[in-house]
Structure 1
Amino acid sequence: MENEHSSALSTITLFLIISLLNPLASPAPQSSLSKESSLSVEEASEVLVSPDGSFTCGFYRVGTNAYTLSIWFSNSAAKTISWTANRDHPVNGLGSRVTLQKDGALVLTDVDGTVVWTTNTSSTQANQAQLLNTGNLVIKDPQGNILWQSFDLPTDTLLPTQPITKTKKLVSSMAGGSVSSGYYSFFFDNDNVMKLIYDGPDVSSIYWPNPDYSIWINGRYNYNSSRFAVLDENGTFQSSDRLSFSACDMGEGIKRRLTLDYDGNLRLYSLNALTGLWSVTWDAIQNFCDVHGLCGRNGICVSNTQKPMCACPFAYEMNELSDWTKGCKPKFNISCGDSQQLRFVELKKTDFWGFDLNYTPSVALGGCLELCEKDCSCVAVGYKTGSGDCFTKSALFNGRNNPDFPGSLYLKLPMDVETSDFYVLQVHEPICHATRTAVATSKYEGFISGGTKWGYFYWFLLAFGLIEILFILFGWWFVSKRDKKQPTSIEEGYKLIARQFKRFTYAELKKATGNFKDKLDRGGSRAVYRGVLEDERVVAVEKLDDVIQAEDFWAEVSVIAKIYHMNLVRIYGFCSQRSHKFLVSEYAENELLMGSRASNWKAEGEKEEEIEPELELLGLVRMLKGKLGGSDGSWIDDFVDARLNGLFDHRKATVMVEMAISCLEEDRTNRPTMDSVAQILMSLDDEPTYHGQHSSQ
């Protein structure tokens, strides 16, 4: 029966666990959106999934209560975004939705109904928006013609088969983890050559291909008018300006992306289908410091490290401690005039690209410095040792410190600025762990936190799980309670003895008694076995066979538990394990527990006051049972008050003692009822009294 209960409980538990792990059946993903249908920002399940499952389109959380309509790689560990509709205008986490309207336009609206982004397909026959296996979101008419596609509006990523033309460009994000537009672009310039440009708040400059070299030396070709480039599915990129490169793991079946990262480098990535992680299989720039704008105005990029690091020149400090793109600012002021004394500080192996006021070849260092000293607009001098090339600078942008550079930069400073002959650049990471957080711009942004739509879902799962757990516990209690239920009287006895003695296990007693093989003959109704505990104590193990005997035994134990005496065997403990009920007591040889007491009743009279009343009662009962069988009734005189001087009816006294002893019989069926006791006492009262006579008379 126990096995059946256990099996049933296991089945119920397994079913509930499975249902808990999958509380809601997920609907089949859809790849298209029909006319007048929409996706809601509040429903995480409302997304479009490409037929092969590679791409997902929906609302993507980019900041505090800020979401974008994006397409991402479904199988990438970080859900990498490949396209975003509203990268610079995130919407609210409540009430925002994207709808394929009746007029054919795909419209993204904020919580207040403001149109944040829309396609140019209004007043067309568009009836479906679909996400293709290529990661291209398209809008089609009933004939299947593509009226609009996300491939025509790339953000920072180019996917295989997605072309880039003279009207398209990739724009980096502002920082890692951000989707907002940054300062770097990959595009076709007016000379028909693909380039990387830094277009910052202060300056704009092309940095790839190398601006110091001609188009031909850079291996490009500008005599073309198509301005077309594409990355194929094998991992090869080809452009009309003869730019061509391939992934180091080129071949079919690999998900790839060409991304202009926030640090200004163009990289080709391949996705590991097993881990969901990306690996770089090609990059445009190997020297980090060849990227312009990393360290901002007056900042210096240090290239002898594993990653780009920024530093401020001597006597300069950061404009904004959290963002190196803001550059450095001088801690001094220089005024134009002959009255201010100037000096120059050398920064070895350092150069700043561009912003040259003058170029003077083959000049001595002193003459070069004098040119800058006389020019109020000059802030520094670049000087190449050996060739004597002198470059006076009007501004300091795109600084680089390179051990291979054959020259130095000389900063122009006021004479009162304390200088040192030895200055070490204090380098830092370009972004300095800057936190660029997107925040919804809607006036309703306070309605909901960014994670609320998930919060409702998680709270539902938590409540559902708690209900299931309570149900499991209730089932376990219901199945097992019958096995554990015991008569109330016995429970009370166990509680009493548990407070006084040790609780043994059935296995311990089985081992101690040698599997209950040494049975003792104690003359009682219960089986008693001899045993030896682990501490070598010899014990008697008494088995309780039924409830009635157990109830009688607890009555005696309740007395024994309160007293300790040299003539009373000790109770060491008990066992209560399912149907196994035992008492463990001190082992005594076959001798009457109170025999010595009975034989020396008078001789040890001086110790009577030391004996507990409970112990007296137990010993007295055992002794009187032996006296009752004797032929001489003179023993009764020892138990009647001596002050009566023998003037009592011996027969009546003997009957009352016999009645008292019978009330203490171990077997309750041998005890007289109260009616019998009353009748006996009344009959004695009716008999004549014989004072001073024995019952035998």
Structure 2
Amino acid sequence: MRVFFTHLNSLIIILISFFFFITSSTSLDTLTGTQILKTNQTLLSENQTFVLGFFRGSNTNYYLGIWYNNISPQTIVWVANRDNPIDNSAGHLKIGDNGNFVLLNSSGNPAWSSNQTNAKNPVIQLLDTGNLLLKDLSDTTNNNYLWQSFEYPTDTLLPGMKVGWNLDTGTEKHLTSWKVEGEDPSSGDYTLKIDYHGLPEALLRRNQTIIYRNGPWNGERFSGIPGMKDNTNDLKYNFTYDEHGVWFSFSVTEPSLLSRIILSSDSDGQYQRYMWIQGRWNKFSYTPKDPCDYYRHCGPYGVCENDASPICTCMQGFRPKNQEAWNLRDGSDGCVRNTVLNCSTDKFLHLENMKLPETSSVFMNKSMTLDECGSLCKRNCSCTAYANIDIRNGGSGCVMWFGQLFDMNVHRPGGQDLYVRLAAADIGSSSSNKNHRAVLAIGITLSALVLVLGLVAICYLRKKRQQSSRGDQRNMDDLKLPMFNFDTLMMATNNFSQDNKLGEGGFGSVYRGRLIEGQEIAVKRLSENSGQGINEFKNEIKLIAKLQHRNLVRLLGCCIEKNEKMVVYEYMKNRGLDSILFGLEALARRNYIDFD
């Protein structure tokens, strides 16, 4: 009997535990049609990444939401009944009779519900992506969701979640800030929506007023957010648009990487990207953050650049509309043209590193080239600017603007090329000046380059000559002969004049000269075409030096400078020995002193 009661008690404990698990607290990721989720209960995704449950706002109101598990402070990424809270803890979530799931308040009235379905066995499941699904349990493909929270974002964009437009159904998804950050999750004043008109782009609004636009997608990023290419090893941004829809999303390459984009109600509705690193949320980027980010800050045809002073400037061919306000750093009135356009003679100004102008009313063609785009814009007198749609692989596609150009920024680095229509008079003179400056700069650069190369060459040759001269000098040092300076010998021979020429042989000419000291000399100047090198010259000098005799012409020295090789002898007033032995005829034949 005691054994019986022991088993009975164990059975009762098991049953109590089972019912408590089903109705009170569950760690499962799925809620079936026979279960309810109370305010003190949660669902936990399979890998325990996200939690579905109830949380309280700054007052006594309760909200059904999804947040990250085991992250403090609590980071909520989705709220079901943000604008219709439950006023006490008596509410609960259940699957309704219409194949949907509903949130009931303490009176049993619906505070929020999903759409109705025809599911025979509907279940609610929380995924590790943070997506809450309503599906039919009999559907084993896990692809045919009857409803999913990713279709109804609140203030947070998670990896795989999309914002944009389904143009086939006319439905839209966007982000809306909380009323009060961290306290009141009801719909706030800021929205981030994709505008599909013209060339699609995202617009940040406060109520109905645009405060920021991120520029159109250029194949790599939004043209107004050059930093979107950062951390591409971890994040991938996706933007697609066609006749069926326009969608923006992002993905992570590593599932364990936690990243989110939120629309904050603080800091003027910033669009912020966070990553969970080393136990805390790190803000990696945010916009708007600079004065130039704010919509139409510099008015029509004004160009904004944060690093400039003042930050608003009029592009070439334009002047401030309100100079007085412009002088006070108020560029909101923008700029006006200096010259009225003339369609037949207009030209286009090429601007670089630009955030493209507002694109809500533009012409676009994805298949045209930039040249075709420019030609079409030139022929259409209403076209004020054109650019490529996609900057990848050299550029493709065509977008053309009509009327005034708004909200242009300069991003260095980043941005893209923009071609703006100007009157020929405005672009011509400036273009000519620009071309003149370019040609002048190129000319100066080339001249400087030639001058530098010339100087280098001269220095090199001079150094070579000096080295050669020093080498020659060292080679001659062992002869212990005086080395004459070239200028000294040139002065002594009156610049080697014909009047001082004594004779000429196969290896060069001989000149009579007088040194400053009054000594007369005979200078043999070797011809450059003689073919005699330094070795032959040195051998000759050595030979003559060894043949020194009182009856022979005395060697006084030599000169090796400026590619010259010269030998200096004493001058013989009474001519040479051959004139005495063989007479004047022999002298004429030998042309006097011939040392060949």
- Give the TM-score normalised by the residue count of structure 2: 0.40
- Give the TM-score normalised by the residue count of structure 1: 0.34
Q: Judging by fraction of residues, say which structure has more strand.
A: 2
Higher Cα radius of gyration: 1
